[in-house]
Structure 1
Amino acid sequence: MAAQTDVYDAIVIGAGIQGCFTAYHLAKHRKKVILLEQFFLPHSRGSSHGQSRIIRRAYSKDFYTQMMEECYQMWAQLEHEARTQLYRQTGLLLLGLKDNPELKIIQAALSRQGVEHQCLPSEELKLRFPNIRLARGEVGLLDKSGGVLYADKALRALQDAIRQLGGLVHDGEKVMEIKPGLPVMVKSTSRSYQAKSLIITAGPWTNRLLHPLGIELPLQTLRINVCYWQEKVPGSYSVSQAFPCLLGLGLSLTPYHIYGLPSGEYPGLMKVCYHHGNNADPEERDCLAAFSDIQDVQILSRFVHDHLTDLEPEPAIMEHCMYTNTPDEHFILDQHPKYDNIVIGAGFSGHGFKLAPVVGKILYELSMKLTPSYDLTHFRISRFPGLGKAHL
């Protein structure tokens, strides 16, 4: 194994969207940074691959809506730097019963934060989006700034930017050992590295890296079915026809959200997915489907049949993705309770992609011992009983 004698300012483990934005911020601030990825890039084994993600300001928690203000600015900045489109504004339409408490909370949050939105009663919703069939009592809330992020393009743009700024991106290097200390040492399958700080953004592999460091976070790794549905009439639900992204709140008696993106990724196919999955080891993600996978697809089929009648009610393509969830579905952005030069970004719970610009900024700040730009109360490890208080 080759030894690396240079001491980096920071090593980032995991080249998903959070790790890429973290390394990008470090490189932007002229820090000597190396980003390590266990798989060869690009790959589809984690949580950041695929062509599209939803971006929105619509959240029930004000702190996410506040963070999204800067995220939109940073996405636009990256677009400008990369000279490629990374965001398409379509609007995000939230669907729910008129008395749905979550819908009311989100509407109130958007109003408090001054975000442009529109409440659409049933009749207006039918006129505006005639190819959505509504059940009795369903209404809409339109977050006008919502839209589609081009995920694969964003990852490539960030990795290119990191290299252009002088950072290193090493793929195909799995981390085998972390030795805490000043400097911290990281051994990969190829060589050893030393750095003043280490940032772990390893998605569903996070606890495998943390366990030898004396901590295990309450993370649940889930396999998500990513389903695409054929339009009966091409263009019915397309971006070009100004069809919005969708978020169904408690529809069809489902305990979890259903979300959709207009067709565009695959010609004539709309992406409609269940915002939940089934327990899965990330190393065994592509093993045979469980019975619960079939149940999830049945829930989606019923939603498509009931609400999106111009789609075929059986998926044409089904892919997989990983979620790494925390019990409260808020992120973990914190220093290791014992080693304050080891920083952890984890538990993005299927809604972290859009927030990655600010997440990366926060992880950069923590790794450099700077005062965080945001209140991290909701993201501290210490919110989980028995996991101690992180050193600041």
Structure 2
Amino acid sequence: MSTEVYDCIVIGAGIQGSCTAYHLAKNKQKTLLLEQFLLPHSRGSSHGQTRIIRKAYEEDFYTQMMQESYELWAQLEREAGVQLYRRTGLLVMGPENRKGFSQLKATMEKNKIPVEFLEKKEFNQHIPNVNLTDGNGALVDTTAGVLYADRSLRAVQGLYQTNGGVIKDGEKVIDIKPGDVVTVTTGSGLYRGRSLVITAGPWANKLMTCAGLQLPLKVVKINVCYWEEKIPGTYSVDHQFPCFIQMEPKEGEYDIYGLPSNEYPGLMKVCYHMGSETEPDERDKQKDRGDIDILARYITRCLPGLVPVPAVVESCMYTVTPDHHFILDCHPTYSNIIIGAGFSGHGFKFSPVVGKVLSQLAMGQIPSHDLSPFSIHRFQSNARSSL
């Protein structure tokens, strides 16, 4: 057994764990980043070429965190010397008589986020080849755009290593022993750290069981769909087509979102913001395509320049909390075990600021953002500690 003791061990080298490890290494913390799969891989939630970055949120706390996240993404771009973000704007469409859309408008105005409101009569001049649903309002978050996901993950991991951090991939964690020094056992070895950060995505609950904690996390498989443009370029990033979110039309339904054709020329990414429950190690056995039927109907109605049959379907996983907000907190019993989980399909854009606050918790510092919306205690009746 090695006598080496790390300042911090981070489990899970997706974007949240990699950003956490990067901040720790920049703060001169001796850090080990453990990943169960060989890198790079497409088994979790951080792979794929693109994600939306935006400040358009209904909740103040997300919009305010995104202000700093944009600054940190720009800093990462400078440090890595690689473009990670492309500004396209984000078109948000939603029922004007529903609370969600009006709340989002109010939050953006309150936080002075640059926004353009589109009147129904001028909508098609600004946004061609999109049919605005009757009763929907529309606005554009002008600072929003596309994050290059795979490229971002590689850049952050590279910067972490440049700052002295160690990555060990292909090492599945099989046990965690809490204590003043936490002991982590993998299939290949045993590691010790003064603090531990668990950012294991869909595998978070399996790991937290070792530390006597169960959280109300649901893992769902997402069908990531790409749809062919009838005329190539109609919805392309080079033709200034924006990302979009169609807010849920009625209770019990979920948002639809899209990104302009970019990674696959001639194919636009349009997805349903929910999937079907799965076990993370059995993701590919989940064959439900009900969401694809919903998307095909929406595309036929609202995106007439796309062929309403997906040309490519890929897989991703969301780890979802009951309220769709993150968990960023210390273990209720062991303050040196930190948990970042439940990013609910909208966490990627936050990862530089999430990594910062998780690293602050791991270093015993007061986090630079109010983390009360992300506390474990909000699930007190569901968060079962067996200790």
TM-score, normalisation: structure 2 = 0.97
Q: CA deviation at 1:388?
A: 7.2
For 1:388 and 1:117, locate their aligned partners in 2 and report how far apart those are by CA, in whole Å.
39
Within 5 Å, which residues of 2 pair with 1:78-117? 78-117=76-115
For 1:160 and 1:91, locate their aligned partners in 2 and report how far apart those are by CA, in whole Å.
29
Contact 1:254 1:299 in 2 (8 A): no
1:140 matches 2:135? no
Q: Which residue of 2 aligns with 1:226?
A: 224
For 2:303 and 2:249, locate their aligned partners in 1 and report how far apart those are by CA, in whole Å.
13
Q: Which residue of 2 aligns with 1:158?
A: 156
Q: CA deviation at 1:252?
A: 8.4
Within 5 Å, which residues of 2 pair with 1:1-392? 3-251=1-249, 255-289=253-287, 293-386=288-381
Q: CA deviation at 1:308?
A: 0.6
Instruction: Indicate the RMSD between aligned Cα atoms, in angstroms.
Output: 1.4
Letter in 2 for 1:164: T
Q: CA deviation at 1:389?
A: 11
Return closer, same or farther for 1:84/1:71 CA change in 2, 3 Å cut-off. Answer: same
For 1:5 and 1:311, locate their aligned partners in 2 and report how far apart those are by CA, in whole Å.
59
Contact 1:226 1:320 in 2 (8 A): yes
| 2:62 counterpart SS class | helix
For 2:305 and 2:71, locate their aligned partners in 1 and report how far apart those are by CA, in whole Å.
36
Return closer, same or farther for 1:266/1:387 CA change in 2, 3 Å cut-off. Answer: same
For 2:2 and 2:241, locate their aligned partners in 1 and report how far apart those are by CA, in whole Å.
52
Q: CA deviation at 1:250?
A: 2.1
| 2:308 counterpart SS class | coil
For 1:388 and 1:271, locate their aligned partners in 2 and report how far apart those are by CA, in whole Å.
36
For 1:28 and 1:85, locate their aligned partners in 2 and report how far apart those are by CA, in whole Å.
21
For 2:107 and 2:125, locate their aligned partners in 1 and report how far apart those are by CA, in whole Å.
26
Contact 2:215 2:383 in 1 (8 A): no
Contact 1:225 1:321 in 2 (8 A): yes
For 1:100 and 1:306, locate their aligned partners in 2 and report how far apart those are by CA, in whole Å.
21
Q: CA deviation at 1:135?
A: 2.6
Q: CA deviation at 1:138?
A: 2.5
For 1:214 and 1:49, locate their aligned partners in 2 and report how far apart those are by CA, in whole Å.
30
For 2:94 and 2:331, locate their aligned partners in 1 and report how far apart those are by CA, in whole Å.
40
Deviation string for 1:325-381 (max 9, x for gaps)?
000111111111111111000000000000111110110011111011111111111
Contact 2:130 2:302 in 1 (8 A): yes
Deviation string for 1:32-88 (max 9, x for gaps)?
001000001110000000000000000000000000000000000001111111000
Letter in 1 for 2:60: D
For 1:259 and 1:8, locate their aligned partners in 2 and report how far apart those are by CA, in whole Å.
41
For 1:339 and 1:108, locate their aligned partners in 2 and report how far apart those are by CA, in whole Å.
39
Letter in 2 for 1:352: G
For 1:344 and 1:298, locate their aligned partners in 2 and report how far apart those are by CA, in whole Å.
36
Contact 1:122 1:137 in 2 (8 A): no
For 1:115 and 1:279, locate their aligned partners in 2 and report how far apart those are by CA, in whole Å.
35
Deviation string for 1:91-118 (max 9, x for gaps)?
0000123323211110100000010001
| 2:28 counterpart SS class | coil
Contact 1:252 1:302 in 2 (8 A): no
Q: CA deviation at 1:212?
A: 2.4
Which runs of 5 or more residues in structure 2 are unaligned? none
| 1:94 counterpart SS class | strand
| 2:44 counterpart SS class | coil
Q: CA deviation at 1:385?
A: 2.5
| 1:124 counterpart SS class | helix
TM-score, normalisation: structure 1 = 0.96
Q: CA deviation at 1:122?
A: 1.1
Deviation string for 1:184-209 (max 9, x for gaps)?
11111111111100000000101111
Which runs of 5 or more residues in structure 1 are unaligned? none
Return closer, same or farther for 1:253/1:265 CA change in 2, 3 Å cut-off. Answer: farther
Deviation string for 1:1-24 (max 9, x for gaps)?
xx3221000000000110000000
Letter in 1 for 2:334: Y
Contact 2:221 2:286 in 1 (8 A): no
For 1:153 and 1:314, locate their aligned partners in 2 and report how far apart those are by CA, in whole Å.
28
Q: CA deviation at 1:295?
A: 1.5
Number of equivalences:
385
